[in-house]
């Protein structure tokens, strides 16, 4: 049985399923030689013109560059650099629309040519036959060579994958798509360079057989290649039938070798390597001439051009520059420019799109030449697309799943085996843009897979970091534990204590001391002073108790006698007040008939003054007795200061109660004459004015006397607190001060009464005042004054008890 190589050498060919035969239209551009490249006003170089990663920029805006100078750099195999197509200045580095079906923008380097076209430094390999394949592969990669057939796969990476396992090397020269003649003219005009590039690939890969696959509609190219190939090269030229898409990688391998590339596999998996004829020409220029990939052959065709043909175009040349050069005249009803052929190309959003490494054709057809796409209709299930598919897929099923975004089903039906040749859309009677659905679904699946890869990579990094931290923690703990054990052993061997335990104990003690200090300093000064006074009193009481072994009840007996005496005096004062009230009521009854309101007010003030005097007299008597008895007692024997202070406080409270009772009686006596005066035909204005003046002066006198009493009470207390003074004497001094304050208040009130009696007639206002309202206002004012006096008395009592 003959081997595959023997069958190929004998001229045997195979066929692939499906395929179509659209009009070729190649004679429009294949009749003339390739035109030389011309310099546009600016060159737009996208950073990404191939499959793989983008390199790092080595230039910035404003830099001067030479022809062939490296603009980007990357060390990874799946990335190739780009080079300056001519000498000039970096005008800008910014996003610009690129040659892509999406019409999106990408980062581009814009060069303004200087017209000199000066070359930079070239790196050549004169004798590649004595150079290692790895060095040649690296040289090819650094010169920016990538696949020029349409995929843009980095050539260096592709050669690495086939080292040592390539049996058959195939050069793809089929160029099956209509209108495109770039490879045809390249083989006719530069056949020697193409063959030399094939020889370099043979040296790198060392295949058993090299085949040039070319369609039989290119006889001139076949003849030019045969003239350049010798028997020693081991290169076989095979003319294959013209059928679209015979130029596809998997389809051409099937036609030439009868083998099929497995799903999701590459030709290297079955021992086959394929390169485009344009790529071989670029390899020869890079290795032997030292020129990077800075230009390529582009077909400019269509019936809208006056002179369609092929031209060398510098990478980055705007499409509109080529249109103007070849005499483009847009169709009036349907102007459009397509990058690529009519089957796999895409319409450009505008003509300011640059030429890249994979752009092989600019097609500008008329409306009659290529009819516009009508409205998409529903699928009629005619199976024409399945019969035309060269990969034996089910295009209608894939379109349904892609439209429904059921990407799992799309992968199940081998969506990624689709080469996007457009044969299914070409034969579809419903004019469904099937390839567009497939491209969109592929892009979405790639994006989701990339997200999953990134998530998995992030998860692995997180888990690795977590494991590293735990490992470091365990090592640190074990190291500390070992060091502690070593210290303990050393301390035990030397007979000392554990230094770590002692240090921990010292730290804890220091923290406890700090906490106590902060707690003590956080107390308020007033609270601290009160606590200090309480502690001093407790200490004094304990000292007195220690001195007296037998309790002395003499002081308590004296206090009881004093309370009895005060009770008798209060009883007598109440009787006197009740008799005074009866007398005033009878007097007020007589005054209802014919009483002068001025005299009534004066009588009320006199009654209040007498009540105050009586209370003051009783309090003075209490103070005198309190002052005499404790003094005599203090001289005779030691008395408990706490009991003396309690007795003084009780006496003050009783005196205040007697004063309040007398004041209430006086107020009642004042209110009744005022009401009586309001009922009679007496001048109410003068009475109201006189009452108001009397009340105001009484309030001022009460406030002054109260302030004096407070000051008199505070000073002895403070003095007793600051100095070492006998508490009994301090209590007596406080009582005397309060009595003097009461006398001063009484004297001021008496003066007020006298003035009120003399000048009530002169202070009357001339306006008509309602006597009832005046009386009510006077009563409210007196009530407020009494409340204020009571509050002041309570505050005074509290301060005296605290002190």
Check if the beta carbon of residue 591 is closer than 8 Å to that of residue 630: no
Check if the beta carbon of residue 107 is closer than 8 Å to that of residue 120: no
Half-sphere exposure (Cβ direction) of 529: Cα atoms closer than 13 Å: 8
Pick from 97, 106, 41: which is nearest to 347 by CA? 97
Instruction: Say whether 385 counts as a known binding-site residue.
Output: yes
With tokens 């497995």, the residue in question is: 262
Look at residue 550 and tell me whether its pLDDT is greater than 60.
no
Instruction: Say whether 389 counts as a known binding-site residue.
Output: yes
Cα-based distances in Å from 684 to 268, 535, 681, 719, 777: 127, 62, 8, 53, 14
**444 confidence band (pLDDT: 50, 70, 90):** very high
Pick from 432, 12, 404, 59: which is nearest to 236 by CA? 12
- Could you give the percent of the chain with pLDDT greater than 70? 69
Pairing of strands 209-215, 168-172: parallel
Task: Give the pair of three-digit tokens for residue 443.
Answer: 């892009």
Alpha carbon distance 739, 598 (integer Å): 32
Alpha carbon distance 106, 96 (integer Å): 6
Q: What tens digit of pLDDT does each residue of 79-102 get? A: 899 999 999 999 999 999 998 888
Three-state secondary-structure class, residue 501: helix
What percent of the chain is helix, strand and coil (3-state, nearest 5)? Answer: 55, 10, 35
Pick from 613, 615, 608, 619: which is nearest to 738 by CA? 619
Instruction: Say whether 410 counts as a known binding-site residue.
Output: no
Task: Give the pair of three-digit tokens for residue 185.
Answer: 């003219």
Cα torsion for 247, 250, 256, 257, to the nearest 10°? Answer: 170
Cα-based distances in Å from 423 to 22, 249, 372, 400, 418: 9, 16, 17, 18, 11
Mean pLDDT within 789-803: 62
Residue 442: partners with Cβ closer than 8 Å, 6 or more residues away: 415, 416
Task: Give the pair of three-digit tokens for residue 579.
Answer: 């008799």
Q: What tens digit of pLDDT does each residue of 117-166 get? A: 999 989 999 889 999 999 999 999 999 999 998 778 999 999 998 888 89
Provide the angle, in degrees to the nearest 10, between the axes of the packed helices 499-521 and 434-494: 100
pLDDT at position 543, please? 62
With tokens 């300093």, the residue in question is: 521
Instruction: Say whether 418 counts as a known binding-site residue.
Output: yes
How does 474-489 read in b/e, with b if 16+ C-beta sit within 10 Å?
eeeeeeeeeeeeeeee
Q: What tens digit of pLDDT does each residue of 10-54 get? A: 888 999 999 999 999 999 998 889 999 899 999 999 998 888 888
**591 confidence band (pLDDT: 50, 70, 90):** very low
> Mean pLDDT in the chain?
79
**Helix count and strand count (H, E) for the chain:** 22, 15
Pick from 418, 436, 434: which is nearest to 426 by CA? 434
Q: Secondary structure of 211-228 in the HEC alphabet?
A: EEEEECCCHHHHHHHHHH
Q: Return the biggest CA–CA distance within the chain.
A: 162
Instruction: Say whether 108 counts as a known binding-site residue.
Output: no
Q: What tens digit of pLDDT does each residue of 176-232 get? A: 999 999 999 999 999 999 999 999 999 999 999 999 999 999 999 999 999 999 888
Q: Where in the chain is the domain with CATH 3.40.50.11540?
A: 1-24+146-290
**775 confidence band (pLDDT: 50, 70, 90):** low
**464 confidence band (pLDDT: 50, 70, 90):** very high
Q: What tens digit of pLDDT does each residue of 706-741 get? A: 554 444 444 433 433 343 445 556 556 666 666 665
Least confident of 51-55, 307-311, 496-500, 768-772: 768-772
The one-character DSSP state at 399 is H
- Cα 632 to its chain centre, rounded Å, is 84
**760 confidence band (pLDDT: 50, 70, 90):** very low
**538 confidence band (pLDDT: 50, 70, 90):** confident
Residue 674: partners with Cβ closer than 8 Å, 6 or more residues away: 597, 600, 601, 604, 687, 691, 775, 778
Three-state secondary-structure class, residue 318: strand
For residue 167, with 0-12 CB atoms within 10 Å meaning exposed, 13-18 middle and 19 or more buried, which class applies?
A: middle
Could you tell me the end-to-end alpha-carbon distance of the chain, in angstroms, rounded to an integer?
A: 128
Task: Give the pair of three-digit tokens for residue 406.
Answer: 């059921």
Alpha carbon distance 176, 361 (integer Å): 13
Mean pLDDT within 479-505: 78
Alpha carbon distance 454, 79 (integer Å): 20
Q: What tens digit of pLDDT does each residue of 272-289 get? A: 999 999 999 999 999 999
The one-character DSSP state at 496 is -
Alpha carbon distance 303, 301 (integer Å): 7
Question: Nearest 5 degrees, angle CA 365-CA 218-CA 209?
Answer: 125
pLDDT at position 181, please? 94
Q: What tens digit of pLDDT does each residue of 683-695 get? A: 556 656 666 666 6
pLDDT at position 282, please? 95
**492 confidence band (pLDDT: 50, 70, 90):** confident
Alpha carbon distance 244, 23 (integer Å): 10
Q: What tens digit of pLDDT does each residue of 633-649 get? A: 333 344 455 565 565 56
Check if the beta carbon of residue 606 is closer than 8 Å to that of residue 671: no
Instruction: Say whether 379 counts as a known binding-site residue.
Output: yes
Task: Give the pair of three-digit tokens for residue 611.
Answer: 């009540």
Q: Provide the CATH topology of domain 1-24+146-290.
A: Rossmann fold (3.40.50)
Q: 0.85 cut: is pTM over it?
A: no
The one-character DSSP state at 154 is B
Least confident of 193-202, 446-455, 686-695, 775-784: 686-695
């Amino acid at each position: 049985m003959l081997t595959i190589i023997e069958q190929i050498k004998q001229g045997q060919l195979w066929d692939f399923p499906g395929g179509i035969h659209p009009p070729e239209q190649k004679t429009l551009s294949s009749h003339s030689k390739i035109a030389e490249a011309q310099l546009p006003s600016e060159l737009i170089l996208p950073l990404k013109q191939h499959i793989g990663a983008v390199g790092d920029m080595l230039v910035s805006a404003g830099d001067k560059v030479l022809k062939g100078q490296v603009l980007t750099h990357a060390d990874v195999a799946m990335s190739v650099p780009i080079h300056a197509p001519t000498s000039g200045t970096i005008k800008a580095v910014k996003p610009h629309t690129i040659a892509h079906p999406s019409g999106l923008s990408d980062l581009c380097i814009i060069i303004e040519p200087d017209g000199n076209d000066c070359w930079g430094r070239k790196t050549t390999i004169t004798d590649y036959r004595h150079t290692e394949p790895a060095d040649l592969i690296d040289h090819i990669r650094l010169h920016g060579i990538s696949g020029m057939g349409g995929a843009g796969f980095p050539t260096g990476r592709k050669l690495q994958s086939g080292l040592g396992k390539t049996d058959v090397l195939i050069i793809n020269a089929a160029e099956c798509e209509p209108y495109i003649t770039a490879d045809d003219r390249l083989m006719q005009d530069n056949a020697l360079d193409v063959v030399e590039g094939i020889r370099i690939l043979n040296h790198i890969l060392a295949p058993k057989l090299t085949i040039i696959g070319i369609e039989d509609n290119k006889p001139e190219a076949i003849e030019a290649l045969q003239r350049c190939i010798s028997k020693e090269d081991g290169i076989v030229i095979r003319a294959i039938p013209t059928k679209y898409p015979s130029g596809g990688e998997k389809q051409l391998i099937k036609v030439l070798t009868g083998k099929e590339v497995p799903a999701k596999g590459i030709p290297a998996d079955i021992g086959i390597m394929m390169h485009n004829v344009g790529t071989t020409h670029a390899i020869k220029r890079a290795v032997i001439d030292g020129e990077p990939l800075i230009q390529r052959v582009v077909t400019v065709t269509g019936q809208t051009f006056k002179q369609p043909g092929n031209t060398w175009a510098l990478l980055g040349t705007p499409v509109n520059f080529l249109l103007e050069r070849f005499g483009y005249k847009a169709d009036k009803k349907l102007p459009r420019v397509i990058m690529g052929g009519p089957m796999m190309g895409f319409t450009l959003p505008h003509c300011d799109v640059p030429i890249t490494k994979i752009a092989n054709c600019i097609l500008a057809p008329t409306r009659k030449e290529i009819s516009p796409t009508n409205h998409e209709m529903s699928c009629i299930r005619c199976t024409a697309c399945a019969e035309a598919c060269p990969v034996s897929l089910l295009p209608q099923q894939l379109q349904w799943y892609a439209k429904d975004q059921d990407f799992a089903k799309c992968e199940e039906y081998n969506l990624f085996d689709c080469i996007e040749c457009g044969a299914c859309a070409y034969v579809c009677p419903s004019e469904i843009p099937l390839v567009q659905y497939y491209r969109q679904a592929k892009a979405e699946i790639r994006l989701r897979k990339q997200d999953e890869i990134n998530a998995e990579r992030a998860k692995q990094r997180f888990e690795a970091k977590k494991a590293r931290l735990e490992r470091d923690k365990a090592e640190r703990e074990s190291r500390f534990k070992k060091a502690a054990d070593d210290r303990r052993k050393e301390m035990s061997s030397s007979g000392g204590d554990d230094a770590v335990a002692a240090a921990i104990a010292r730290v804890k003690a220091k923290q406890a001391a700090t906490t106590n200090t902060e707690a003590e300093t956080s107390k308020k000064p007033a609270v601290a002073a009160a606590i200090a006074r309480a502690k001093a009193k407790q200490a004094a009481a304990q000292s007195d108790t220690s001195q007296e072994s037998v309790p002395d009840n003499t002081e308590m007996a004296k206090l009881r006698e004093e309370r009895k005496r005060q009770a008798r005096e209060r009883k007598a004062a109440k009787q006197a007040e009740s008799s005074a009230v009866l007398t005033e009521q009878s007097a007020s009854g007589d005054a209802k008939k014919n009483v002068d309101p001025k005299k009534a007010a004066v009588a009320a003030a006199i009654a209040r003054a007498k009540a105050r005097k009586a209370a003051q007299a009783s309090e003075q008597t209490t103070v005198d007795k309190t002052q005499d008895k404790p003094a005599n007692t203090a001289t005779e024997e030691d008395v408990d200061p706490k009991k003396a202070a309690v007795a003084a406080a009780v006496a003050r409270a009783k005196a205040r109660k007697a004063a309040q009772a007398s004041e209430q009686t006086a107020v009642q006596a004042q209110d009744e004459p005022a009401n009586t005066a309001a009922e009679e035909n007496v001048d109410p204005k003068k009475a109201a004015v006189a009452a108001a003046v009397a009340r105001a002066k009484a309030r001022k006198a009460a406030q002054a006397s109260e302030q004096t009493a407070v000051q008199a009470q505070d000073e002895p207390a403070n003095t007793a607190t600051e100095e070492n003074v006998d508490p009994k004497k301090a209590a007596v001094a406080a009582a005397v001060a309060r009595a003097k304050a009461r006398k001063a208040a009484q004297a001021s009130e008496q003066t007020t009464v006298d003035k009120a009696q003399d000048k009530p007639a002169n202070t009357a206002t001339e306006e008509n005042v309602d006597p009832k309202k005046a009386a009510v206002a006077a009563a409210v004012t007196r009530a407020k004054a009494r409340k204020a006096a009571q509050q002041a008395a309570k505050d005074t009592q509290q301060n005296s008890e605290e002190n």
